[in-house]
Structure 1
Amino acid sequence: MSIEWSLLIAAGLLILSIIATRASNRFGVPGLILFLTIGILAGSQGPGGIAFADYQLAQTVGVIALIYILFSGGLDTDWKAIRPVLGQGMVLANLGVLLSAVIVGFFAMWLLGFSLLEALLIGAIVSSTDAAAVFAVMRERGVNLKHNLEPLIELESGSNDPIAVFLTLGLTGLLLNPNGSLLDLVPSFLLQMSLGALGGYGLGRLAVMIINRIRLQQEGLYVVLTLGLTLMIYALVSLIGGNGFLAVYLAGIVIGNYNLVHKRSILRFHDGVAWLMQIAMFLTLGLLVFPAQLIPVAGSGLLLALFLAFVARPLSVFASLIWFRRGPAEILMVSWAGLRGAVPIVLATFPLLAGVPHAGMVFNLVFFIVLVSVLLQGMTISHVARWLKLNADRPRPPETQTYVPDVSLRSRMLDIVVPADSSVVNKSLIQLDLPRGLLVVQIQRGEELLIPNGGTVLLPDDHLLVLATPEMLPRVQELHARGELVLK
């Protein structure tokens, strides 16, 4: 096939997936189901007839996509919103995933006749949740959960993938090396998570410094820079033995909660990248699936999916949140919002490529479980929220802006000069961390007039045209009295 035909097919699938989101918004069908369906229809056993069975390529696409999806999720995470539920989220994301994997594992051992390690591998693969589709449906159906449930679900979905990846890789290794022990995974887990957390936070802070101080001339280069930094964070942490997925998620939280040069552009760019990665991942996984192979495992897959949704997930959430005085309705809501996404399908490729016994059957079972989970839970999430009386019945706020200056008709325009010995010289506006009541509108530098942005660096004798609220005037006068700024 020529490169032109390959590009045309790729473009057609991408455009068709985007158009399909309209049906998702209208009928409440999670978008990932439509993306997977398009991939299946385009595959070798569908009308498209595209022959694709490269599990290594699919895994690579899935890992890269997951890196950027987690990073984008971190960028959009408001630290102030998740801080009250941080403890609950961490317990749910770790203990909840572990309990869910064990409970599903024992059921799979009984149902399928697998060995304990093989059954636990299935439980580990399907243990993590994916709330991206849930929030898409909730936005369209006007679901606004009470009692800080939305931040809790968001935090869990963004932070429980690392432990699922660790359990999957660890159990895969044990199946290939029968002399190993489950207890051997404990120190390895603690080391990976510790290095991942420290690396994510530290490299996130470093990324903030780089973005704010590099002083690039073109705005578009800043978003390209963040693409490289994201991959660098994942690779560096993984190379030193840490969990790279946890690192990129935490780095995204750190970066997203600091003042950045061109922050609005960076956030919107990565939102688009996350959508592109989701579509690419789901299309690739859809192409990888052979529908005829799903039929023999349909009965077992359905039982596993129902057991996961109605037994394993509620029990694991109950055991995780009962200590935080969450009521039965809230626990049920969090349980039902824990639908499975593309991550389990990506994880199922690891034992398949490693040559683990029954890996092909495991992959098909996991794919079927994900389909049932998304259809069953994703399409009923709004009804369950109303049935449990946890919908706040308030309109969802419009999209927030990265920075909205607090100015009014009472604000005043001030002409300010920067003295040569001022501490603000050679600092960018973003480094000054100006309060919302102060807005630098224009800078006159010699004969040149500048419209500043966050990366604009102040120089001696710059004339600043500043819009200030009455409440900020004492602050400006204080700086004038100290000689940091001179009022004209």
Structure 2
Amino acid sequence: MTDTIPFGRLVLLAALVILLALLAGRLTARIKIPAPLLVLSAAAIGVQVIPSWDAPSEQTVERVVTLALVCILFDGGIGMGWSKFRRTAAPITVVGVVGTFLTVAGIGLFIHVAIGLSWYLALLVATAISPTDPAVVFSVLGQREISGRSGTILEGESGANDPVGIALMASLIAAGGVGAGAFAHIAGAFALQMGVGALVGAVSAYALAWFLRSVTLPSESLYPLRTTACAFIVFGVATVAHGSGFLAVFVAGILLGDVEGPHKREIVRFHSALASLAEVVAFLVLGLTVKLPELAHLDVWLPGVVIGIVLAVVVRPIAVALCLSRAGLGRAEQAFVMFAGLKGAVPILLGTFILSSHAPEAERLYGIVIVVVVVSVLVQGSFTPSVAERLGVTEPAS
């Protein structure tokens, strides 16, 4: 037990950061900087100046963030529910899947031509920075809610493009390059993960709906814990079956969202709180992997800034406009969805996949991904509230 005091100090520091992050909502409402970015920055600075804050291993980071994403995606699915999802199912699917591929292709082409990376490395970076995070959007909007269908599309898009981005990155890394044979392997692996994930999610939802309604527990406090355990079971089953556990969890959450059962309100509130905590933990752990000296290099921050701007003002708007051309959205709602594709924890997680793959220039590529996320959240995020007000797509929270 010789490390009791250092471990206690580490627990104290981590708990204080999490507590400050949870209380940061009041601060972010004024400065328009989402709490996750503050947590990421604090962790990145802390690991540089506090000796006891050693950066965790890449495997530990991936596992912790994976568990956090299961909580976030399951809560997102439950919060949306089937009745809400089906009204916007087509645009969510098109933007979340087709839009992700269009974004990867567009920004990958730009990175290859303008930055000079090989096609393979350009596609790795493009895949990493394609997923979006509506929680960051809602964080900068504060107490205002998004009216119409645009908010639902943003939530659904993230729930869809997170599994798509993760599966695509895993397939790219497994292929180890680009070419006719590699693309065939990538397509097959991607289709398998998406198909199995969706199937497991749908079948699990129906099985769990019966289980949650039929089996009672001795205490009401146990019901939220049971649904949490079920969410991780769904993830595990899909993953073992070579499917996307993230997609399975999201699909199961959507189908369970409208299922009535004992203590439903308490369960929903618990998962909402758990998802908020999971997001803070994810950014905290990811922040510990950020090497600030590496970000200071010109060949890291300059490409990151340029890529972030081009992605936000050119590539994503074009991709989303193509996907939503027949969605029947009003111009204001479509414009907001085109603009509000802010980045979050998943791009950084995918950046750690690049590190783990030991691809050429992996440290530099990871730094570029970090800079793109910071540019998206800090610059693009600061304009989101004013853009939403100008477009008239927000309303006071009820």
Provide the residue aligned with 1:197 in structure 2: 198
1:184 maps to 2:185: yes
Unaligned runs of 5+ in 1: 398-488
- Pick one of 18, 39, 45 that aligns with 1:35: 39
Output the CA distance in 2 between the equivalents of 1:157 and 1:54.
27
Any conservation in 1 of the 2:81–2:255 contact (CA below 8 Å)?
Answer: no
Output the CA distance in 1 between the equivalents of 2:241 and 2:289.
32
Provide the residue aligned with 1:231 in structure 2: 232
The structure number with the bigger radius of gyration is 1
Output the CA distance in 1 between the equivalents of 2:313 and 2:178.
34
1:12 maps to 2:16: yes
Provide the residue aligned with 1:369 in structure 2: 372
More helix, by proportion: 2
Any conservation in 2 of the 1:30–1:379 contact (CA below 8 Å)?
Answer: no
Shift of 1:340: 0.6
Counterparts of residues 70-469 of structure 1 (less than 5 Å): 70-140=73-143, 142-146=144-148, 148-175=149-176, 180-296=181-297, 297-326=300-329, 328-388=331-391, 390-391=392-393, 394-397=395-398
Output the CA distance in 2 between the equivalents of 1:79 and 1:66.
20
Amino acid at match of 2:147: L
Amino acid at match of 1:125: A
Shift of 1:253: 1.2
Provide the residue aligned with 2:64 in structure 1: 61
Output the CA distance in 2 between the equivalents of 1:386 and 1:273.
30
Any conservation in 2 of the 1:145–1:385 contact (CA below 8 Å)?
Answer: no
Any conservation in 1 of the 2:92–2:157 contact (CA below 8 Å)?
Answer: yes
Output the CA distance in 1 between the equivalents of 2:357 and 2:55.
19
Shift of 1:380: 1.5
Output the CA distance in 2 between the equivalents of 1:316 and 1:176.
25
Amino acid at match of 1:172: I
Amino acid at match of 1:253: I
Identify the structure with bigger relative contact order (alpha carbons < 8 Å, sequence gap 6+): 2
Any conservation in 2 of the 1:130–1:341 contact (CA below 8 Å)?
Answer: yes
Any conservation in 2 of the 1:58–1:284 contact (CA below 8 Å)?
Answer: yes
Structure 1 length normalisation: TM-score? 0.77
Any conservation in 2 of the 1:71–1:249 contact (CA below 8 Å)?
Answer: yes
Shift of 1:6: 2.9
Shift of 1:155: 1.1
Shift of 1:158: 1.5
Output the CA distance in 1 between the equivalents of 2:316 and 2:88.
19
Secondary structure of the structure 2 residue equivalent to 1:382: helix
Shift of 1:129: 0.6
Structure 2 length normalisation: TM-score? 0.93
Output the CA distance in 1 between the equivalents of 2:382 and 2:112.
30
Unaligned runs of 5+ in 2: none
Output the CA distance in 2 between the equivalents of 1:131 and 1:48.
34
Amino acid at match of 2:198: A
Shift of 1:177: 8.9
Output the CA distance in 1 between the equivalents of 2:204 and 2:8.
40
Amino acid at match of 1:91: V
RMSD across aligned C-alpha pairs, in angstroms?
A: 1.9
Amino acid at match of 1:152: I
Choose 224-233 or 8-17, whichever is displaced more: 8-17
Choose 354-363 or 96-105, whichever is displaced more: 354-363
Any conservation in 1 of the 2:21–2:36 contact (CA below 8 Å)?
Answer: no
Amino acid at match of 2:296: I
Shift of 1:326: 4.1
Secondary structure of the structure 2 residue equivalent to 1:380: helix
Any conservation in 2 of the 1:89–1:155 contact (CA below 8 Å)?
Answer: yes
Shift of 1:20: 2.4
Any conservation in 1 of the 2:75–2:271 contact (CA below 8 Å)?
Answer: yes
Output the CA distance in 2 between the equivalents of 1:59 and 1:291.
20
Output the CA distance in 1 between the equivalents of 2:250 and 2:202.
9
Output the CA distance in 2 between the equivalents of 1:177 and 1:284.
31
Any conservation in 2 of the 1:29–1:379 contact (CA below 8 Å)?
Answer: yes
- The superposition leaves residues 285-343 of structure 1 with CA deviations (integer Å, 9 ceiling, x where unpaired) of 11111111101111111000001001110111011111334455433211211111010
With over 3 angstroms needed to count, the CA separation of the structure-2 counterparts of 1:95 and 1:179, relative to structure 1, is closer
Output the CA distance in 1 between the equivalents of 2:323 and 2:89.
13
